[in-house]
Amino acid sequence: MLDLGYNATLVMIGAGLLGIAAGVTGTFLFLRKRSLVSDAISHSTLPGVGLAFIVMVAFGGEGRNLFGLMAGSALSAGIGLLCVTWLTTRTRLAEDTAIGAVLSVFFGAGIVLLTVIQNMSAGRQAGLESFLLGSTAGMLRIDALTIAGGGALVLALVVLLRRPMTLSAFDAEYAASLGLDNRRIDLAMMGLVLGITVVGLKIVGLIMIVALLILPPVTARFWTERSDRVVLIAGLVGGVAGAGGAVISASAPALPTGPIIVLSGFALFALSFLFAPNRGVLAALADHLSFRRRVHLRQGLLALAQGQPVYEALTLRLLRRAGLIRRDGVATDAGRAAAAKALLDERRWQLLRADLASETAAARYDGLTPIESVLTPDQVATLDRALRPTVAS
Amino acid sequence: MSGAEFVPLSLPPILIASFAAVACALPGNFLVLRKQAMIGDAISHVALPGIVVAFLLTGAVSTWPMMLGAAGAAVVAVLLIQFVHRVGRIDPGASMGVVFTAMFAGGVLLLEQSDTSSVHLDVQHALYGNLESLIWLDAFGWESLLDPVALAGLPPELLRMAVVLVLVTGFIRLFWRPLKLSTFDEGFARTLGMRTDLLGLALVVTAAVAAVAAFDAVGSIIVIAMFICPPAAARLMTNALERQIAWSCLFAVLAAVLGYVLAGYGPLWLGAPDAVSAAGMIATVSGVILALAALFGPCRHRLGQPKGA
């Protein structure tokens, strides 16, 4: 890691900053449930790249100036974004249709321009295809500085705008009642996304830049329920994926930077998806299994208490393992006590649910919760007084 | 232009592009109405890893394994998207973005890692296709259309695309009523006992088959554009599904023919010597059609929305 060359270090810093900024910006897009708009924005940068190249060559420039290409891509991405907004608000088309239409048409137009450039004498070695998949080969110092600086600028703007954007994402009407203009907040958010796309174009490429905007917030969402922490974790995930991906890709040949960064982010996502507490797959699975065990135990105990035979294999196994029945299926002392307690609990619940006055408490009934955890001891005692005649008979 | 030049050089690509466009636009109508338009986008992105994996397994650039690979990748992607959406409780758009970008990145990485320099397999090809190279060398003019020996030399993509078009049309004809019903009122369709989930998956698989066949011939840009643009433009022309489908086929063919002609001959008219990408131009023309429909289409407004809004 320390023997990274000067160039690779530059790329790593640039990619890391870009990742942090993209993760943080993407979070607001994700909270607005508009993640895929970024796909339209990123694809519609292509005609801008082509046009900027043609214009720069026409004015006698070199054509490959990164700053000029970025300006062109920002312009056409902005037009693409306006087209999506216009199609969604002014026609009956849904937002996903508008996104798909804009991304494919702009991308197609960009490809046409790329073939035009290939036919130009100055365009033979233009290498504009590298904007499709990203490339860090032959990246200049000024390029890396532009990317790092752009990432830092977007990050600063997000920090400034975080409050209105969070408010608008969670409760747009409340935001409007405070005098905030949701449309302008949305526009600002999309502007930031556009900034990330343009800055990241060179490293990750326009097809995969959306991954940097989508993966970090989705990953972060598994770990917390609080929006400010989602923002922080998403920035962290994006930064780790960006810098880590750049380091890995510099470590060996034939490891292109863009895909490695995206796959590093995906690895973080997959780990979180599996192992995160509460929202992760394994946690959900454990939850489900423990719920099933409790239901089976409870039903088994109720059957024992009422002298009914138990046939279900899982129930028998659970009862036996808990020492509540013997191998031949007859209840042990502990089993009889637990069964009687379960039956009493069920009778108390029955009584409670029959009483309209205690509707709120009765709503907590799920067949598993002990009634003592819902009612106070004297409320339980009142129930028991009403139960006594039936118990006595 | 004489038949001697047109029939061998331009007729097969125009026919292939038109078949591909219609085959994608047909299922696209339902995808657009079901708000699943981005499924087409996802399918065309994940076709790349599917093709690369098929190539690595078979070691040869042959059509059928690659089409199977791409179709398999599409099904895997759709299932993964559902899995992330349901189990991870992530909204559908974001889960789609997670899955297809990661799979695409995997495909690019595999492509870079494996030695494909000796064969014609690269990302650019997957994106633009090679419509211009699908020529019919055995033809000498219009009379070749009746000559069985010359007909045997037609590009195989033409026959493949025609078969896929028939399959797609057959699927939609066969399941017309259930498709229509479940698209507009899924709850009602389910109360009638329809397996709307299976039908939805079948629609996606049909779309994937059309996409993969088209992908092989014309590249992924046309696929995404044709899934969405002609149906979206048709949606702005009429309120009846039957007429919408007719319009979308018309728009698809129009975009294919006009796009091909503009790409092949447009630069010549402007005095430039070389043609531009036909796939890109077809997508562009379909966008122009959509723009015109959005500006002037008779049904462009939402129902109930005032005309001036």
Q: Read off the tokens for B82.
A: 């559902």
Crossing angle for the helix pair A333-354 and A281-305, to the nearest 10 degrees: 100
More confident residue, B126 or B158: B158
Predicted pLDDT of residue B116? 61
Mutation target to probe the B interface, by most B beta carbons within 10 A, among A104, A230, A257 is A104
pLDDT digits (tens, 9 = 90+) for B1-17: 566 677 777 888 899 99
Q: How far apart are CA B51 and CA A227, in angstroms?
A: 40
* 8 Å CB contact of B97 and A35: yes
Tell me, what DSSP letter sits at residue A174? H
Full DSSP string of chain B? --HHHHHHHTHHHHHHHHHHHHHHHHHHHHHHHTT-HHHHHHHHHHHHHHHHHHHHHH-S--HHHHHHHHHHHHHHHHHHHHHHHHHTT--HHHHHHHHHHHHHHHHHHHHHHS--TTSS--HHHHHH--GGG---TT--SGGGGG-HHHHTTS-HHHHHHHHHHHHHHHHHHHTHHHHHHHHH-HHHHHHTT--HHHHHHHHHHHHHHHHHHHHHHH-HHHHHHHHHHHHHHHHTT-S-HHHHHHHHHHHHHHHHHHHHHHHHHHHHHTT-SS---HHHHHHHHHHHHHHHHHHH-TT-SPTTS-TT-
**Which of B90, B113, B239 to probe the A interface (max A CBs under 10 A)?**
B90
Buried b (16+ CB within 10 A) or exposed e, A206-234: bbbbbbbbbbbbbbbbbbbeebeebbbbb
Is ipTM over 0.95?
no
Give the pLDDT mean for A279-299: 91
A254 touches chain B (CB under 8 A): yes
B307 lies in some domain: no
pLDDT at B119 over 70: no
Chain A residue with minimal CA distance to B304? A92
Q: pLDDT, tens digit, for every residue of B72-117?
A: 898 899 899 989 998 888 888 899 999 999 999 998 888 888 766 5
Nearest to B68 by CA among B47, B89, B83: B47
Instruction: Report pLDDT for A386.
Output: 82
Q: Would B48 be classed as within a structural domain?
A: yes
d(CA A257, CA A296): 52
Query: B303 to chain A: which residues are within 8 Å by CB?
Result: 92
User: How far A209 CA lies from chain B's nearest CA (Å)?
Assistant: 9
DSSP-assigned letters across all residues of A47-67 = HHHHHHHHHHHHTTS-S--HH
**Which residues, 6 or more positions from B122, have their beta carbon under 8 angstroms from its beta carbon?**
B111, B116
Q: Exposure of B306 by Cβ count < 10 A (0-12 exposed, 13-18 middle, 19+ buried)?
A: exposed
Q: What is the pLDDT of residues A10-52, one digit of tens each?
A: 888 889 999 999 999 999 999 988 899 999 999 999 999 999 9
In the numeric block, the tokens 């507009």 are attached to B184
pLDDT (average), residues B182-189: 90
Tokens of A141: 């110092």
Residue of chain A whose alpha carbon sits nearest to that of B44:
A104
Residue at B129: amino acid letter: G
The residue-averaged pLDDT of A213-221 equals 95
Question: Which residue, among B39, B121, B153, has the nearest Cα to B85 in the 3D structure?
Answer: B39
Q: List, in order, residues 6 or more apart from A236 with CB less than 8 Å away.
A: A20, A23, A220
For residues A138-156, average pLDDT: 83
Residue B110's alpha-carbon distances to A165, A305, B56, B104, B107, in angstroms, are 39, 62, 9, 10, 5
How many residues are present in chain A?
Answer: 393
Which residues in A lie closer than 8 A to residue B221 (C-beta atoms)?
104, 107-108, 111
Q: Give me the helices (H) in A222-280, please.
A: 227-251, 257-275
Q: Which of A30, A112, A119 lies closest to B284 in CB terms?
A: A112
Asked if residues B8 and B137 have their Cβ atoms less than 8 Å apart, the reply is yes
Determine, yes or no, domain membership for B265: no
* Residue of A38, A97, A269 with shortest CB distance to B37: A97
What 3-state DSSP class applies to A140?
coil
Cβ contact A353:A365 at 8 Å: yes
Point out the least confidently predicted range of A97-101, A385-389, B30-34.
A385-389
User: Is residue B285 one of the residues assigned to a domain?
Assistant: no
Q: Say if B200 falls within a structural domain.
A: yes
CB B42, CB B96: distance < 8 Å = yes
- Full domain range(s) for residue B118: 3-219
Q: How many CB atoms lie within 10 A of CB A143?
A: 20
Checking if the pLDDT of B308 tops 60, the result is no
Number of domains comprising chain B: 1
Q: What is the reported pLDDT for A1?
A: 44
Per-residue pLDDT of A339-358, as tens digits, reads 999 998 888 888 888 887 77
Q: CATH number, domain at B182? A: 1.10.3470.10
Using DSSP, state whether A84 is helix, strand or coil: helix
Nearest Cα neighbor of A245 from B105, B278, B123, B173 is: B105
User: Which conformational region is residue A339 in: left (phi greater than 0), alpha (psi within -120 to 50 degrees), or beta?
Assistant: alpha
Higher pLDDT, B134 or A75: A75
Q: Using an 8 Å Cβ cutoff, are A260 and A249 in contact?
A: yes
Q: What is the least distance, in Å, from the CA of B22 to any CA of chain A?
A: 16
Q: Is the pLDDT assigned to residue A391 strictly greater than 60?
A: no
Domains of chain A by start residue, with CATH: 6-276 (1.10.3470.10), 282-392 (no CATH)
pLDDT (0 to 100) of residue A123: 55
Long-range Cβ contacts of A79-88 (<8 Å, 24+ apart): A79/A44, A80/A40, A80/A41, A80/A43, A80/A44, A80/A45, A80/A106, A81/A37, A81/A40, A81/A41, A81/A44, A81/A190, A81/A194, A83/A44, A84/A37, A84/A40, A86/B294, A87/B294
Confidence of residue A393 (pLDDT cuts 50, 70, 90): very low
CA–CA separation, B232 and B300 (whole Å): 10
Minimum distance, in Å, between the CA of residue B93 and any CA atom of chain A: 6
Across the interface, which of B105, B303, B305 has its CB nearest the CB of A211?
B105
Kindly state whether residue B159 falls inside one of the protein's structural domains: yes
Determine whether the interchain pair A35/B128 forms a contact, defined as Cβ–Cβ distance below 8 Å: no
Query: What would the pLDDT profile of A261-280 be if each residue is shown by its tens digit?
Result: 999 999 999 999 999 988 88
- Tell me which of A107 and B214 has the higher pLDDT: A107
Rounded to an integer, the average pLDDT of B136-144 is 74
pLDDT per position as a tens digit, B235-258: 999 999 999 999 999 999 999 999
Of B278, B242, B276, B274, the closest CA to residue B259 belongs to: B278
Residue with token string 């599917």: B50
Cβ–Cβ of A93/B235 closer than 8 Å? yes
Give the 3-state secondary structure of residue A331: strand
CA B70, CA B56: separation in Å to the nearest integer?
13
User: Does residue B250 lie in a domain region?
Assistant: no
Burial of A293 from C-beta contacts in 10 A (0-12 / 13-18 / 19+): middle
The CA distance from A71 to A52, in Å, is 8
Query: Is B304 among the domain residues?
Result: no
**Which residue in B39, B16, B162 sits closest to B95, CA to CA?**
B39
In chain A, the percentage of residues whose pLDDT exceeds 70 is 96
